[in-house]
Amino acid sequence: MFDLAFIAAQEAHEIHAGDGGWWADTAGIMLALPLVAFLLILAFGKRMKYQGGEIAIGALAINALWASVLMVLNMTEGVLTQTTFVIGRIGSGLVFELGWVVDGLSILMYFLVSVVGLLVFIYAVGYMKGDRRLPWFFAAFSLFAGAMLVLVGAPNLVQLIIGWEGVGLASYLLIGFYWEDLANVKAGNKAFLVNKVADVGLVLGAIIVALAVGSFDFFDINEAAISGNAELGAVAVVGALLLFFGAMGKSAVFPLHIWLPDAMAGPTPVSALMHAATMVTAGVYLMARMFPLYQNMAQEARTPMIILGAITLFGAGLLALVAKDIKRLLAYSTVSQLGYMMTVIAAGGYTAGMFHLFTHAFFKALLFLCAGSVIHAVHSNNMSDMGGLRKYMPRTYWTWIAGSLALAGVGLSGFWSKDEILSTLGNEGYQIVMWVAIAGAFVTAFYMARATVLTFHGSYEGEREPHESPSVMTVPLILLAIPTAFAGLLNIPGVSWPVIGNFTEWLAVRIVPMGDHHAESIDWLIGGIGLLAAVAGIAVGWAIFSKDRDSQEDRDLFEIPVFYPLFRRGYYIDDVALGAVGATIGPIARFVDWTNTHILDAIVNGVGMAIKYLGGFVYGIIDQRGVDGVVHGVSAIADGAGSVLRRMQTGQVQQYAASFVAGALILVVVFVFVL
């Protein structure tokens, strides 16, 4: 129930927030609804008209409404409560509690999961129509959303791990949804196993931190991190790195990103939800939740986090550049964007990271749903089967353009969140990382231009006549396009809207305050450079890919050597470079060549002959007689011992048992009488 220490701390930190009234006190219902829906769909789904889709949508619709009310309450007055129930005790000192946190961060995640989830669910009714296992799909989908809500509502690490594993399980079920195909099953297994590897880190980190603090509660841990608890300080770096390792799995940070592109095997709505609101955001959420630990205690852990994040954001962008499959391209782009979030959170930009998560959720869900709409129309994932779809699918096209511009960081919501990231990196003194991020922005715009051109422009390459998707699919697209366009306005640095304030203020409503670094005013220089990089990316991409729309081979040329065609198309660069090299390097090279043949060669030959004779001596005497003799002797001993000892392996279980008992007896005698 209500935590008295919690309320006291709230007063101590001078946080002025409402308690959210009835909506926050009973927010646990929101966590339970999708799980109830999961059971109901399993029980009754088959007999219903939409195969259980109506239950799933109903549950999430209530949740979306609920989360919206909480969001509005948080915008106007702030909401900060925590409700917990003691379930049991772990060991002597630790308490296992379940419950729900209602603060700025959680409300944001409730809102994202519910609203994006609702739109994806509605879309899925159209997309999955006619599939054989629809009830199972909606059930697992509800479980997915429900587990994510349990995760983001967790007041302590234990409940977070429960939700974390639930998300992993549901994603496994959904990635392998078309399990008739072995490749899909393998993709599901891969996702599950990679996540399991990371989960080891999460569990170990949770235990280490909880034992040091004496509580699993986020509030207690963050409080300890703020106040400089010595016991926590001793293990902070190890614990923080282990927790980050756990987050790397879910949030697909290099080198544990490998499962995410394969996870495309699942149905497209699953990818949309997985990449936008659930699953991959879990790791970023964990980092944000534990932010004070990283900010105040484990500074040493931040450098590896930033390096890995930077590798991820740039490397994954390059991979997206050569993807043929439209969903795979979007998946790599998600990896890259997650890299941005992780990097900036590690660099101290809590608000910047969460703001990018917020805008990214909308536009990435939008892009995936658009891709699904396209796949639905042409029955292929491959971009070489597409092209010219602009004419056939206008709604999908225009919403895709909105999503692409946002992702590329040109104008729409993505511009504001990416700008926030860049300026935070710059302000915190990570200049090199900031330039990597700007290069990443260029690559992002580049591959999105490529995807847009190959999919929607030029002439249609497929065989079936494509058609616009039904409105049950396009309406969610349009609804998602609205926040994609305007969500960025919520956090213009230095601007606080009347009544609702801005995103930074909403997020600041937290259990434990922390030294978040966010931009106070618009940084026109960095923003301009970022915008310039993005526009340049689009221009280069457009120039390369829109020309060769006619010949199929040239489009594929880009796939193999990454930068080859880039140079090929601007080949005067090659010419200039070659000419310059010929004029300046040529005489030097000829001089070096002469010296090489006449002087160096003589020396080299002499040394070579000497070494040859020395080698002959070493080989003949020392190696053949001395070393080899020893080697043969050792191997003969091993061989003889092996052939004697192997007789002990009789295969008779009872002989083994007898040896076991005899060994135990001898050990007991040794321990009791000898030692």
Partner 1 sequence: MILSQFLILAAALFAFGIYGLLVRRNIVLILLSVELMLTAVNINFIAFESVFRSPDAIGQVFAIFIITIAAAEVGIGLAIVLMIFRNRKSANVDELSLMRY
Partner 2 sequence: MTFSAWISEPINWIFLLVGLVVLASGFRVVTAKNVVHAALLLVAALAGTAGLFLMLAAEFVAWVLVLVYIGAVIVLFLFGIMITRAPTGQDEGLDSEKKVVPALLSVGVFVLMAWGSIDAFGTTLVGATGDPISTELIGESLLGRFVIPFEVVSFVLLAALIGSITLARKDLTPIEEEEGRRV
Residues of the shown chain interacting with partner 2 in the complex, contacts defined by CB under 8 A = 88-90, 654, 658, 661-662, 665, 668-669, 672
Q: Report residue 97: phi and psi, to 5°.
A: -125, 150
CB of 670 to partner 1, least distance (A): 19
Residue 382's Cβ-count burial label (10 Å; 0-12, 13-18, 19+) is middle
What number of other Cβ atoms are within 10 A of residue 562's Cβ? 12
CB of 656 to partner 1, least distance (A): 10
| Tokens found for residue 129 | 């129509």
Q: Which stretch binds partner 1 (CB under 8 A): 199-207, 552-560, 566-574, 657-665?
A: 657-665
Per the CB < 8 A criterion, the answer to whether 549 and 459 are in contact is: yes
Helix/strand/coil for 599: helix
Beta carbon nearer to partner 2, 169 or 492: 169
User: Tokens 């880039």, residue?
Assistant: 566
CB of 665 to partner 1, least distance (A): 10
Per the CB < 8 A criterion, the answer to whether 274 and 263 are in contact is: yes
Q: Which stretch binds partner 1 (CB under 8 A): 126-134, 344-352, 494-502, 642-650?
A: 642-650
Residue 546's Cβ-count burial label (10 Å; 0-12, 13-18, 19+) is middle
Q: Which stretch binds partner 1 (CB under 8 A): 169-177, 265-273, 461-469, 645-653?
A: 645-653
29 binds, among partner 1, partner 2, none (CB under 5 to 8 A by kind): none
669 binds, among partner 1, partner 2, none (CB under 5 to 8 A by kind): partner 2
Eight-state DSSP code of residue 251: T
Beta carbon nearer to partner 2, 627 or 665: 665
CB of 19 to partner 2, least distance (A): 32
Interface residue with partner 1 among 230, 560, 653, 675 (CB under 8 A) is 653
Beta carbon nearer to partner 2, 637 or 669: 669
Eight-state DSSP code of residue 14: T
Beta carbon nearer to partner 1, 587 or 651: 651
Beta carbon nearer to partner 1, 551 or 655: 655
Beta carbon nearer to partner 1, 459 or 654: 654
651 binds partner 1 (CB under 8 A): yes
661 binds partner 1 (CB under 8 A): yes
625 binds partner 1 (CB under 8 A): no
User: Tokens 């597409």, residue?
Assistant: 386
CB of 432 to partner 2, least distance (A): 49
Beta carbon nearer to partner 1, 600 or 664: 664
79 forms beta bridges with 18
Q: Which stretch binds partner 1 (CB under 8 A): 335-343, 353-361, 505-513, 648-656?
A: 648-656
649 binds partner 1 (CB under 8 A): yes
Per the CB < 8 A criterion, the answer to whether 260 and 334 are in contact is: yes
What span, in angstroms and rounded, lies between the C-alpha atoms of 345 and 294?
9
What span, in angstroms and rounded, lies between the C-alpha atoms of 303 and 620?
54
What span, in angstroms and rounded, lies between the C-alpha atoms of 350 and 284?
10
What span, in angstroms and rounded, lies between the C-alpha atoms of 317 and 337?
9
Beta carbon nearer to partner 2, 631 or 662: 662
Beta strands in 348-387 (DSSP E): none
Beta carbon nearer to partner 2, 88 or 642: 88
Interface residue with partner 1 among 557, 607, 614, 658 (CB under 8 A) is 658
CB of 633 to partner 1, least distance (A): 24
657 binds partner 1 (CB under 8 A): yes
Beta carbon nearer to partner 2, 156 or 427: 156
130 binds, among partner 1, partner 2, none (CB under 5 to 8 A by kind): none
From residue 220, alpha-carbon distances to 6, 88, 98, 346 in Å are 9, 18, 15, 21
650 binds partner 1 (CB under 8 A): yes
From residue 203, alpha-carbon distances to 190, 253, 261 in Å are 20, 18, 25
**Closest-CA residue to 410 (of 278, 586, 512, 530):** 530
Q: Sign of torsion, CA 610 611 612 615?
A: positive
Name the residues that contact partner 1, by CB under 8 A: 646-647, 649-654, 657-658, 661
